[in-house]
């Protein structure tokens, strides 16, 4: 399907809004995955006083446009057109936003508090160093996460994420319905263990997991000694049964 020209200001008797024109400009002049600058945007839309705001409004319709806050590789005056959303230049598509991205300071604080001020992708806290030869201190942001509900419907929910986890990545998606089915398939003991982790919002390694971790560090002869010990223990248990 051929896209309308982003320079078109009217479509028959209907005026084409600057947000729709901006969307078409991103698609035809910038391209998904590419970077554009504020200067390039303002030069293209020299007749639009608030074109920066129109670009921001596209996020409410599912368009992903990252700035340096989401993608640290970007300079202050750069933005990356990551992915397209609703076809806002088509009549009716721009009436109801797909999802809202703007939050008040109080709402942002509520999300941070609910997530224990931790990145829900890697678990790092604000201001901590990553520790893998990266001495950068983490900065936490609020990200949108697409959630497929149990009834198959979709909604966007807010979640805490650090800059590094959110850098250059496509919108993450979680299938809540599938996850709930996996929960139902757990044995009663497994559900009790998981419920404990959920209540504490953290997971401590079980003794057997710590043993496995230690075993994997052993040389071959030592690993064989562990395997023999397990075999001897199984044989002893069989005699006692």
The reported pLDDT for the residue numbered 49 is 84
Q: What is the C-alpha to C-alpha distance for residues 85 and 98, in angstroms, rounded to an integer?
A: 8
pTM over 0.75: no
Place of tokens 């002049």: 29
Give percent of the chain above pLDDT 90.
Answer: 28
Q: For 182-222, how does the pLDDT look when each residue is reduced to its tens digit (9 = 90+)?
A: 999 999 988 988 898 888 888 877 788 888 888 999 899 99
The gap from C-alpha 114 to its chain's centroid, in whole angstroms, comes to 17
Of 103, 82, 78, give the one whose Cα is nearest residue 27. 82
* Tokens, residue 52: 């920066």
What is the three-state SS of 111-139?
A: HHHHCCCECCCCCCECCCECCCCCCCECC
């Amino acid at each position: 399907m051929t896209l309308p020209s982003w320079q078109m200001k009217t479509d028959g008797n209907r005026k084409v809004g600057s947000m729709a024109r901006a969307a078409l400009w991103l698609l035809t002049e910038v391209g998904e995955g590419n970077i554009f600058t504020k200067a390039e945007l303002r030069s293209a839309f020299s007749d639009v006083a608030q074109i920066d705001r129109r670009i921001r409004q596209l996020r409410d319709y599912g368009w992903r446009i990252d700035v340096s806050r989401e993608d640290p590789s970007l300079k202050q005056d750069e933005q990356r057109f990551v992915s397209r959303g609703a076809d806002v230049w088509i009549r009716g598509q721009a009436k109801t936003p797909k999802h809202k991205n703007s939050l008040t300071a109080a709402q942002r604080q509520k999300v941070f508090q609910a997530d224990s001020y931790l990145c829900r992708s890697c678990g790092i806290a604000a201001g901590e160093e990553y520790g893998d030869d990266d001495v950068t201190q983490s900065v936490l942001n609020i990200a949108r996460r697409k959630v497929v509900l149990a009834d198959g419907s979709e909604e966007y929910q807010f979640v805490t994420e650090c800059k590094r986890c959110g850098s250059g990545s496509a919108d993450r998606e979680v299938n809540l319905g599938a996850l709930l089915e996996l929960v139902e398939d757990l044995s009663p003991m497994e559900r009790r263990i998981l419920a404990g982790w959920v209540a504490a919002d953290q997971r401590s390694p079980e003794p057997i997991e710590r043993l496995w971790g230690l075993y994997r560090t052993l040389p071959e002869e030592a690993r064989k000694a562990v395997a023999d010990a397990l075999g001897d223990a199984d044989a002893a248990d069989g005699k006692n049964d």
